[in-house]
Amino acid sequence: MESEHPFESELIARIGWLIQLRWVAAIGTAAAIVLAALWFPGTLAVGPLLIVTGLVAAYNLQLTLYLRSLKGVSSGTVRLPHATSLAYAQIVLDLLGLVALIHFAGGIENPLALFFVFHVIIASILLRREVSYVMAGVAAVLYAAVAGLEYAGVLAHHHLPLFSVELYREPRYLLVSAAAMASTLFIVAYLATSISARLRERERELFASNSTCQVRSYELTDLNEQLRRLDAERTRFMILVTHELRAPVGTIYSSLELVRAGYTTPQETQEMLARAQTRASELLELIGDLLNLTKLREQPVRRDSLAPMQIGDVLRDVVEFVQPEVTRNNLSMQVDVAPDLAPVRAVAEQMKLVWTNLLSNAIKYNRPGGSILVTLRQDAGQVTCQVRDTGIGIAPEDLPHMFDEFFRADNAKLVSPHGTGVGLAIIRRIVEGWGGKISVESKLGQGTTFTFVLPRADAPSPS
């Protein structure tokens, strides 16, 4: 008897979910077209739009019948390729249907072109990484093709009277919109496939472990518990990442939308583009933090593989780097390093990241005229590092969560609305990877003290 592929059932289940979702979308689209025709007669090309919607429903019916027949096929090498081909066909057909709807409903003027992003996300969940990039490229080409063919007059443009300016006649706007859409689609594909690939790899590992435990019944309970924790972590991680991505992507989209709609003066256009660029920079910072966090998760550090280093030397370099910001914020900073400080086993670049993050927070969340005190002390077995500020402090209910991924205290958001909430989580993983510990003490409105302790290089490694 052929064994079931570990992800075959999941793929088929996701295909079924997508088919059901398409029925809802087709019915909702048809209803929206009819209502728009009644409320705004002569606004939309109702006939072509209903035909496209009918074609979507027709191929969805064929997909439904094919999926039912596929479920009746024995599991194994036959069913999985067919399920994969069905997933490919769905994404391609949906992209063609969406681009047809966009064309007959205003072309590049239609803000619903954003739905290309959701199709790329779905493709990234269902398909392999390289295929997801291909689908992102297909979506970008289709979007640009509609814009270009309408501009060239090959396709008749169906203008939306909601906008006074026929934007499809503006070549610079077409280029900017096509470039923005393509970059957004590939960024989304990269993020979604990166997360999905890591999760699938972990699922493969757990599946193999679970198969082995079929002959080791006493281990089955522990492995199932690991599976539940992984599923909860995956769900939480995806929700948090989606939440963090929504704000910068939303700002970028709204800024481009104002420019696209012709509501801005040339000066305001530059401001909108600058705002979009700023949020894109924040998005890249978040991606960098996520990559650092993932690397620390998947590549734990062995303390015995680390070389001894002087932590005070790294601190002096970072202090010199942040000193202009200290002066700019009217703060004072004092550094107290014990003489003859023992070396610790660490990585210089990561230690620089630890100091930079802690000092930057002490500066950012301090009060005008406040102070920062950095101390390095040692005893027989360890080196103790402290960063103390006189800033806004942390509420008692927030203290237990300060090292959680994506967590930011409410008062910190008031001081700095934009932030990844990943920095302290990265620091904790770095410090604990070196065999150390990190903690925080704070009183709301009275300042905060971060303390991390590292074993001296000459201290024996724990057995």
Give the 3-state secondary structure of 320-349.
HHHHHHHHHCCCEEEEEECCCCCCEECCHH
What is the chain's pLDDT, residue by residue, as a tens digit (463 residues)? 344 444 566 777 778 888 888 888 889 888 988 888 888 777 778 888 899 899 989 988 988 888 888 776 655 554 667 777 788 888 888 888 888 888 888 887 777 777 888 888 888 877 778 888 888 898 889 889 988 898 888 888 887 766 556 777 888 888 888 898 889 889 888 888 888 777 777 767 776 676 676 566 666 666 677 667 656 656 665 666 665 666 677 777 777 777 777 777 888 788 878 877 777 776 776 676 666 666 666 565 666 667 888 999 999 999 999 999 999 999 999 999 998 888 998 888 889 989 988 998 999 899 888 999 999 999 888 999 999 999 999 988 988 888 887 777 777 777 776 666 778 888 888 898 888 999 999 998 889 999 999 998 877 665 4
Phi, psi of 450 (to 5 degrees): -100, 130
pTM of the complete model: 0.43
CA 93 to chain centre: 27
CA atoms lying within 13 Å on the CB side of residue 168: 27
According to DSSP, residue 374 is labeled E
| Residues β-bridged to residue 447 | 443
Burial class of residue 200 in the structure, from the number of CB atoms within 10 Å of its CB (0-12 exposed, 13-18 middle, 19+ buried): middle
Specify the residue for token string 């919109």.
177
Cβ atoms of 104 and 49 within 8 Å: the answer is yes
The Cα angle at residue 61 between residues 57 and 63, in degrees rounded to 5: 115
Instruction: Enter the tokens of residue 443.
Output: 């009183």
Cα–Cα dist 76/69, whole Å: 15
Which tokens sit at 103? 């064309």
Residue type (1 letter), 159:
H
Residue 74 DSSP symbol: P
Angle at 97 between CA 92 and CA 99, to 5 degrees: 95
Domains defined along the chain, listed by start: 8-298 (no CATH), 303-455 (3.30.565.10)
In Å, the largest CA–CA distance within the chain is 84
Which class for 147: exposed (0-12), middle (13-18), buried (19 or more C-beta within 10 A)?
A: buried
